[in-house]
Chain A
């Protein structure tokens, strides 16, 4: 967690797609608030819900899928409780909105959420673009090493070049990343990861010769039982602030949120929440705002927690985790099926129209059709999804994520389908069209009744390939906030650490979706062949 929006220096681009960086830059420049300024507070009260954006994939202790509840929409975490606290203060219900973590600020500007509450660290750059609340948590960074590694016992061991070159894993773009960069030490190589627990996992397994992980302290506290082979090295470093974002020009909402946080500090309710997750420590206590019923300062109230209460439970493995989380993954697979099943027919339809325009239409239809194919084939799906989801609202067309996903997939695949059909149509001898025309058929009727039915046989195998590919490409839709199977796997695997079990189940589910398709297609192909001969 805790990223800054600035300085994408070159060596950091290892784990993040350069294109994504560019697109985010374009989008964040282009996307201005589409909601009216200063009305957020009224809107929340009128609606009765505070829509708060966060990403379950970040895992504990922030926001994570409830382990005890089969209802996959139920979330837990200290930020969930803070959201409830804020909502109550505003006279509303908290409504969790799942969004990819790095897209939360854009989504906030888009107006579909009211606040961002998800481990975003305050920085001058963010403060320029958003209203930033006073901190709800003062975070620190903890260095982690392997228990078996005696060469790394203190910070000095890491910082001293005499200890030889070191590799340290961090969350890409996070405060830990920036902290290590600011040290500017030649013997330390920074390795970027997408997920907090992935980095810990890699250090544990000595993947890529990693020596250490610089991690948010609260993440380590939550996950330490899952990593018995790791240990904290030295004291926490680099203090910073988790803050809530609101849109610019919403001072009323911002001040209500600030008041709520101060009140929660005063009456001890924030301490209670943080204590529950093992996060209340000297650093938090130093804010020293808490008073008793008479309004007198309470002094240092340290955690009433024995240090184990707020930790994640990672004993769940094997069949148990499959049994508990399997249902959620199967439901997410339902979304994958929905996306594929809706977008493929649409892609087939658009592709056919495009091809017919290109092959049989007049130039003013044919040329744009050819351009369409080249444009769509020549740009990545992720960019097309971005355009539909983040740029269309700019011209007043706002589409829900699932609709945008279906549209994006349909458009992307329509170009490939169009090329398949073109090949299929060209494979039909010219005499067929002539015979149909000579019988008095119009061009359209000849296509419909003579040419297209014959092409079908030719295009079925490549279309099947595309359909199977499309099933897997649905995973890309997570960039526009759709939670389908791959995204759900990431969420569940990171919150349970059952990477292998859930990974196998996920693979099995994908197979279960694509294999029947291959069988059906093979059968269809055989039937069509038979019909022809």
Chain B
């Protein structure tokens, strides 16, 4: 459903992505792991065009994105963004709108859905993430975990074919992390296609279908979580896992 082919990217002279190829099936939970600075977030953000790339090709459900500019490029980006949602580390909710408005904003103004339909759907989604009673609050009056669940509802409101999670629990304490992981696990169980950049090993191991270890801009190792965690093949993976176990 999502395919990245030979993606290369440099920041000036420094290569950040080196010939990365990745394939994500429909319904798959794809987890990107690896040490900081390995290129996980950058790779994720190239998929919906928040980062540019220098060469290679991205294919999202048949929509092709190549490096470049111009109207065709913008059109492809717009289509991809309407099909692929995103959840950020810092939530990035719109502080001037209520929780409900955050969720209805894009369906009404981007997808041009009727307000009634958008509101009904938003209420259903907020109930699903356990925040029905917070609809009329401003995001800043919510806890971090609650805000992140609203952000997930906001992404779901677009009926996305896939959702990109960029370290969704890194700004949260363990209790709030658990809330968010629980919602994400539910989504995975329902067959939502997800690409997740995370440091939450428990999630990667129990929910992930495919795990990719990114190091220095390349994929060092890929495989199902059981194999990656029990029987790592590459030194990079072993070092990374050892480091993670040591710190926490």
Contact = CB atoms under 8 A, between A and B. Distances in A.
A462 interface: no
A295 interface: no
B86 A438 contact: yes
B172 to A, nearest CB: 16
B36 interface: no
A441 B88 contact: no
Contacts of A434: 50, 88, 92
A454 B106 CA distance: 17
B148 interface: no
A453 B81 CA distance: 23
B87 to A, nearest CB: 9
Interface of B: 48-50, 78, 81-82, 85-86, 88, 90, 92-96, 105-106, 109-111, 138, 140-141, 154, 158, 164
A359 to B, nearest CB: 18
B96 A453 contact: yes
Nearest to A431: B92
Nearest to A439: B106
Interface in A439-468: 439-442, 445, 449-450, 453-454, 457
A432 B93 CA distance: 7
Nearest to A432: B92
Nearest to A442: B78
A435 B94 contact: yes
Contacts, number: 63
Nearest to A454: B96
Contacts of B50: 434, 437-438
Interface string A490-533: 00000000000000000000000000000000000000000111
A434 B88 CA distance: 9
Query: Considering the complex of A and B, which 4 residue pairs feature the smallest CB-CB distances, nearest first?
Result: A435-B92, A439-B106, A431-B92, A438-B86
A435 B158 contact: no
A268 B95 CA distance: 82
A305 B111 CA distance: 88
A441 B109 CA distance: 8
A432 B90 CA distance: 10
8 contacts: A432-B92, A435-B92, A436-B94, A438-B88, A440-B158, A442-B78, A453-B96, A454-B94
B24 to A, nearest CB: 17
Given A449-B109, A533-B140, A439 B92 contact: no
Contact of A531 (B86, B90, B96, B164): B96
A438 B140 contact: no
B47 to A, nearest CB: 10
Interface range on chain A: under 10, 10 to 19, 20 to 34, or 35 or more?
20 to 34
B136 to A, nearest CB: 13
Contacts of B94: 432, 435-436, 450, 454
A271 to B, nearest CB: 76
Given A439-B81, A439-B105, A532 B96 contact: yes
B92 A449 contact: no
Given A439-B81, A533-B140, A533-B141, 19 more contacts: A431-B90, A432-B92, A434-B50, A435-B93, A438-B48, A438-B81, A438-B86, A438-B164, A439-B105, A439-B106, A439-B154, A440-B82, A440-B158, A441-B106, A445-B109, A445-B110, A454-B96, A532-B138, A532-B140
A434 B86 CA distance: 10
B207 to A, nearest CB: 22
B88 A431 contact: yes
Contacts of B82: 440
Determine which residue in A438, A442, A449 has the highest number of CB atoms from chain B within 10 A of its CB, and name it.
Answer: A438
Contacts of B88: 431, 434-435, 438
A438 B92 CA distance: 11
Contacts of A449: 105, 109
B154 A440 contact: no
A531 to B, nearest CB: 7
A494 B95 CA distance: 56
Contacts of B92: 429, 431-432, 434-435
A533 B95 CA distance: 8
B19 to A, nearest CB: 26
A437 B154 CA distance: 13
Contacts of A453: 96
Contacts of A441: 106, 109-110
Contacts of A454: 94-96
Contacts of B106: 439-441
A300 B245 CA distance: 121
Contacts of A437: 49-50, 81
B200 to A, nearest CB: 21
A288 B154 CA distance: 96
A439 B90 contact: no
